[in-house]
Structure 1
Amino acid sequence: MAGGEGSRLRPLTVGRPKPMVPIVNKSVIGHILDLLKSHGITEVVITLRYMAATIQDFLDDGSSYGMTLHYAVEEVPLGTAGSVKNAAEFLGDEPFLVISGDALTDFDLSAVIASHQAKKAIATMTLTRVDDPLEYGVIVTDDDGWITQFLEKPTWGELISDTVNTGIYVLEPEVLARIPDNEFFDFSNDLFPCLLEEGVPMHGYIADGYWCDVGNMAEYLRANSDALYGRVKLSQPVGEHIGGNIWVGKNVEIAPSAQLFGPIYLGNDVKIKGDVVVYGPAVIRDYSVIDNHSRVERSILWRNNYVGESCELRGVVVSRQCTIKSKVAIFEGAIVGDNCVIGEGAAIHANVKLWPRKMIEPGATVRESVIWGNQGRRSLFTRFGVSGVVNVDLTPEFAAKLSAALGATLEKGSFVAVNRDIHRASRMIKRALVSGLPGAGVNVWDLGTVAIPVTRFFVR
C-alpha cells in the first residue's frame, strides 16, 4: 500500500508521495521492497493514489530490484482495504501478504506467513509492542493469539494492551469478497471489526524486531537515526563502512581537516571541505557539498544541496536542490523544502518550515513558517512603508507584533493615532495594530476611517 499523501511530513512531501521519502540511502518503499525480496517475495502489487506516476516512473517494472511489479491506481480514495480490493485482478486465488509502503521494519515476514498457515486463520495481523500505544490501533488477543477486541487510538483509561497493529497482514483470498467495490473501506475501522463480529478466525502474530510508522517528522528523524545506529536491520547495506560509525557512497571527498563524529552517512559524490564538523546521527545524501568551516549536527540533507562557508545546521531537514549561502544558521526542528535559496547571514529559527522554492533575503531572520509568498525579508519597510500580500505577508499576528515593537520604542504613556481606509482588509489589520500597542504601555487614538491628510493634520 503506497497511496499516502504524507500531510504530516510537509513540506517534504509537497513534491513527492510519502513512500518516496528517503531513509538514509533510499526511499522507504525501496527498503520495503528489499525486505520482501529477502523473504522470497518477488511479485508485488503496489496500490497507488497520490502522485502515482512518481512511484511508477521511479520503480518501473521492478527489474532493478529483481522483482515483478504491478500497479493498481485509485481514481478516488478507497481506504486501505478498498485499495487492496482495487488490485484484486492481480491477486489470484492464493493467500497474500499486505504491507505498508511507508513504514520501516525488519520483521521476519516468513515467520508471519508460517504462523498464518499453522493457525489456519482467515486473516493474520502482525502486531508489535510499543511504549506509547495511544496513537495506534491497539489489538487485544487471548492466550492463544486469537484476536478478541480492537481499540482504535484509545485513552489511557481504555488501554488494556500494548500490542498495536503494524499494517502488515496475511489474508486468505475469500476476504476480498467482503470488501465492496469502488467504495471507501478500511481494514482497521471496517473490515476487521466486521470479521470479528461474524466470528471469523483472526490471529494476531506478535513480531520481534523493529517497526516505525514514518507518519510525522519526529518518527522520520527517529527512523533515520535508528538506521544509522543499527537498531533496524536493513536488508541492504547503506554504504561502505570506513570506520568510526561512518558509511560512504562512491567518490566521496573528505578534507583532511574535517572532523566527523558518527554515526554518519555520506552519499555518492558528497564533498566535505576543510574544517567542517559533522556530528551524527547525520545523513548527507548524493552530490551535496558542505563548504569550509561549516558545522552540521544531527541533521538530514537530501540530494544536490550546497551549504556555504561558516554555516551552522542543528537538528534540521533540508530537502533537495537547496542553496544555503555562507554564514547561515538554521536551528532545531526547521525544515527546508525543495529548491529553496537562503541568503548569506540569514537565520532560520527553530521549528520553522520553508515550503518549496522560497527565497530568504541575506541577513533575514525567519521566525515563522513561510508557506505562501516570500516572507524571509531582511527589512520590513519599503519606500511605501510596510508592504505585502494580506493574509500572506500581512497577517493579524504580524500586525500585532509590529505594533508591540513600535510601542516598545516609545515612552510609556505616549499616544499613537491609528486610522484606515474603507477596505475590510485594512479594518482587520488596524484592529490588530490597536490590540498590540496597549501591551507596550502606549495609548491609542482610534480615528476610524479617515483620509491620510486629515490624520496628518490631527497629529500636528
Structure 2
Amino acid sequence: MTIDLATIIKAYDVRGTVPDQLSPEVARAIGAAFARVVAQPEGARQVVVGHDMRESGPELVEAFTAGVTAAGMDVVRIGLCSTDGLYHASGALDAPGAMFTASHNPAVYNGIKLCRAGARPVGQDTGLSEVRELAQRLLDDPAGSGTDQAAPGTVRDVDTLADYAAFLRGLVDVSGIRPLKVVVDAGNGMAGHTVPAVLGTGAGLPALPLDVVPLYFELDGSFPNHEANPLDPKNLEDLRAAVVEHDADLGLAFDGDADRCFVVDEHGDPVSPSAVTALVGLREVAKELAAGRTPTVIHNLITSRAVPDLLQAAGATTVRTRVGHSFIKAQMAQHDAVFGGEHSAHYYFRDFFFADTGMLAALHVLAALGEQPHPLSVLAEMFSPYVASGEINSTVADAAAARERVRDAYAAAYPQADVDELDGLTVAHWDGHPQWWFNLRASNTEPLLRLNVEAADEDIMVKVRDDVLSLVRQAEDA
C-alpha cells in the first residue's frame, strides 16, 4: 500500500518514521520530484545533499540521489553535516539542497529539510506542496513517472566542513576575547562533528581562547544519553551540572542536527532564547548602523516583547512574523533583514544566506561575553526584563473550540486588548496596565494547544497563565 505523503510532508519539511513512513522508495520519489519541481525550473545544474548521524541516513540519501540523477541532475554529496552546514554548502555552491535529519526526534525518525539555491526556503507556499503532489504521483504510478532521462546525472563526494568552519570564523572574531571555559553538550548529535571544527582546531584553524569541555560528542543516532532536544528542560540537566562542576563561564546545548543552540549561564541557569535574540540582534544592529545602513530584525510572535523594545530603541525596524523557519527565512529575504530570532533557539543571519545557524549564534554569545568582564548571568539579565511562562502544552479533543472559548472570554473581559490570528490566537494587553500578552497555537502534528504567556511581573503572568489554561482544559476536565 502506497503511503499518503500528506502524513509526512508538512508545512516546512519532511518528517516520518523509518521505514514505514519514510522509506528508500519514498526518498527516491521525493528526490525526483524535488529535481523537477524546484531545481530544474530555477536553472540549477546540481543538488547538494547531506545527512546527520542517524543510521537510516546513508540509505535514504542514496535513494534520494537516485531520484535526482534519474531526473538528469548532478548530485554533490557532502556526507555527515549539520543542517546549517548544508545551508552553507547550498549558499557557497549556489545549489538547491536536501538535508536528511529529523532534528531532535527519536531515533526511529528521519526527515528531509529542502532548500533552493542559496539556502532559500522550500515550504508549503514555496514549492513543498508541489513536491509532495508530484512525489505522490510517482509513488502511485512509477511506470508513468517519466523521470528517467537518456543522460542521468553524476554524483561526486565533497567535504565542506573546513570551508563551513572558516566561513563562520570570518563572520565573528573571537580570537581576542578573554579566555572562557565553555561546556558543550552535543547530545550525540552533529555538534560533536562541527564544534571541534569551529571552536577548536579540527578544521586546521588557529586555536581560540576557549577551553571546551565536551559532553556526548560521540555521533550516535540512538541518543544513548538523552534526547537531543534542548527545549525539554530534562535534556539540559547534564549540561547544567557540568557547567557548575567545571566552574565554566557558560554552557551550550545543540539539538540533533545542530542548527539550534541553547545557552546556560555560569550558574547552570538557562538563558532565554529571547534574551539571546536581543543580545545577538543588538550586535548585528550596531554593525549595520556603523556601516550606514538601516537595520531590520525579524522575530516570531512568541519571542519576548523585550526583543522589539530593545531593538527599536537601538535604531532597528522590527518585523513580527509567524513561527516556522520557512516563514522566517522568507521574511528575512523580503525585508533584507540583518538578523532574525525565534523562541525555539533558531537564529537567522543575512550574512549566512538568510538561513539559521546555531553555531554562528554561539560565536556571537561567546564574543559578547568575552569582550566585557561581567558573567553571563549579569549580561543576560539586561535582556530579560519581563516574566515568561515558557511553552505549555495541553492535550485537547477540539483545539478550535478551546481556542474560541479563550477568544470569547478575553474579548468580553478585555475589550481594549489587541487580538490577532497571525499564528494561532494572540491577545495582548501590553499598552494597558497591567502588561501581559499570550499566544495560543495548535500543533501541526498532535492534538495539542501550545500556550505562551508573558507579563511585566510574576503575579500577572501566573494569573493569565492559569486563567487561559482553565479555559483551554475546561471540556477535558469536565
Normalization by structure 1: what TM-score? Answer: 0.27
Higher relative contact order (CA 8 A, sep 6+): 2
The structure carrying a bigger strand percent of its residues is 1
Give the TM-score normalised by structure 2: 0.26
